[in-house]
Amino acid sequence: MKVKAAVLVLAGALLFGMTVSAHHSFASTYDLAKQVKIEGKMVQFLFRNPHSFVHVETADGERWSIEWAGGGQLAGNGIDRNTLKVGDPVIVSGNPTRTDGEHRLRMVTLKRTTDGLTWGNREGEKVD
């Protein structure tokens, strides 16, 4: 009886102890047919998985949250947690959220204007 209980507990732990991974569709959150360009100063850079985020404040005081690729993908493309700093002037283009009035984008391109560092437009999302 004890063996049967132990097997059931072990089986339950294996079945319910798995990690679940899910991912949302960008098309359900962002309007991929539209593109917005913003210019401002970096106020925060969150380098993490599954998605990194850049927060930019524009000259008129609006703060934008821009969803980017994951840390692992960015690292493979030459971006690390020290690439962008608070105060860096940037120009970002991206797809706006489908919810009116939100200041959120899905990153398409990024350019730091002080040195011309750029990211985006596919094929390795190169950093120049």
Per mean pLDDT, which range of 1-10, 35-44, 70-79, 85-94 is the poorest?
A: 1-10
pTM score, whole prediction = 0.74
Q: Which residue has the higher pLDDT, 34 or 16?
A: 34
- Let me know: does 84 contact 66? Beta carbons within 8 Å: no
- What domains can be seen in the chain, in order of their start residue? 22-125 (2.40.50.140)
Which sign, positive or negative, has the C-alpha torsion 45, 91, 71, 80?
A: negative
Rounded to a whole number of angstroms, the CA Rg of the chain reads: 20
Q: Alpha helices, DSSP H only, in the chain?
A: 2-16, 26-29, 71-76
Q: Name the pLDDT band for 113 (thresholds 50, 70, 90).
A: very high
Q: Name the pLDDT band for 122 (thresholds 50, 70, 90).
A: low
Q: Which residue has the higher pLDDT, 89 or 123?
A: 89
C-alpha of 85 from chain center: 16
Mean pLDDT in residue range 67-95: 93
| Residue 114 reports pLDDT greater than 90 | yes
Convert 81-108 to b/e letters by CB count within 10 Å (16 or more is b).
eebbeeebebebbbbbbeeeeebbbbbb
Cis peptide bond prior to 89, omega within 30° of 0 = no
Mean pLDDT in residue range 12-36: 67
| Residue 128 reports pLDDT greater than 50 | no
Per mean pLDDT, which range of 11-15, 79-83, 107-111, 116-120 is the poorest?
A: 11-15
Which sign, positive or negative, has the C-alpha torsion 10, 12, 17, 19?
A: positive
| Residue 19 reports pLDDT greater than 90 | no
* Nearest in space to 106 (alpha carbons), one of 67, 74, 70: 67
Residue 76 is predicted with a pLDDT of 87
Quickly count: other Cβ atoms within 10 Å of residue 7's Cβ. Answer: 10
